[in-house]
């Protein structure tokens, strides 16, 4: 992965080495991948590949099998981004500087007053750059999730609040997605929860005494 795309390698028992079976050239800036299975409503386990692109979308592929063709990964869907409050510099509008406060309410405009001054905030769909993707399944419910750690936002303005330098802000929302399995013709991952982060580069999931973390 990286550079020229994602390359799917298959073991060739004759040559004794891995050989390229498929290349996903649409993900030229791929920075992380995750492979997992989800049991479908048809009772068959389907293999998925999630690809996080450093300067693009996060795509989910499914491995299609056919009697007359070689199994290949095909694009299943692209993970959506939530329309949430950001300021004019592309930084998420958190009401608390410790990043644990509530986000904007009343759906519109609010000013952050504090040591960093005032900011005008509004809801917008802002491109975010992922760095890590993680699939996990909650044992108590059997539900499938994808967590995507977003490093920064795509903005052409300076970001004086919570970020050094210009061009990108690291104070953004990482996303958690939940698999929607109740609609047979449109099963996909949808936004489940937003997590305020600052330059997130990794994500993980553990269960301790039936508690999901």
At 9-53, the pLDDT tens digits run 888 899 999 988 888 876 778 899 999 999 887 788 899 999 998
Distance CA 156, CA 204 (A): 31
The answer, as to whether pTM is greater than 0.75, is: yes
Q: What are phi and psi of 207, to 5 degrees?
A: -125, 125
b/e map 39-76, b = 16+ CB within 10 Å: eeeeeeebebbbbbbeebbbbbbbbeeeeeeeeebeeb
* pLDDT tens column, 99-114: 334 444 333 334 444 4
């Amino acid at each position: 992965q990286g550079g020229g795309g994602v390359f799917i390698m298959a073991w060739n028992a004759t040559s004794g080495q891995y050989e390229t079976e498929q290349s996903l050239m649409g993900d030229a800036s791929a920075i992380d991948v995750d492979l997992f299975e989800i049991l479908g409503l048809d009772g068959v386990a389907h293999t998925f590949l999630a690809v996080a692109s450093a300067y693009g979308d996060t795509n989910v592929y499914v491995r299609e099998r056919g009697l007359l063709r070689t199994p290949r990964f095909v694009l299943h869907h692209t993970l959506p981004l939530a329309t949430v409050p950001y300021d004019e510099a592309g930084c998420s509008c958190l009401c608390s500087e410790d990043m644990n406060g509530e986000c904007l309410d009343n759906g519109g405009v609010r000013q952050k007053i504090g040591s960093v001054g005032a900011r005008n905030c509004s809801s917008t769909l802002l491109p975010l750059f992922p760095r890590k993707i993680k699939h996990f399944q909650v044992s108590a419910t059997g539900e499938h999730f994808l967590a995507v750690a977003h490093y920064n936002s795509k903005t052409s303005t300076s970001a004086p609040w919570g970020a050094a330098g210009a061009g990108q802000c690291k104070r953004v929302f990482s996303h958690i997605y939940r698999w929607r399995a109740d609609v047979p013709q449109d099963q996909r991952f949808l936004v489940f929860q937003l997590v305020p982060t600052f330059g997130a580069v990794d994500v993980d999931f553990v269960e301790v005494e039936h508690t999901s973390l």
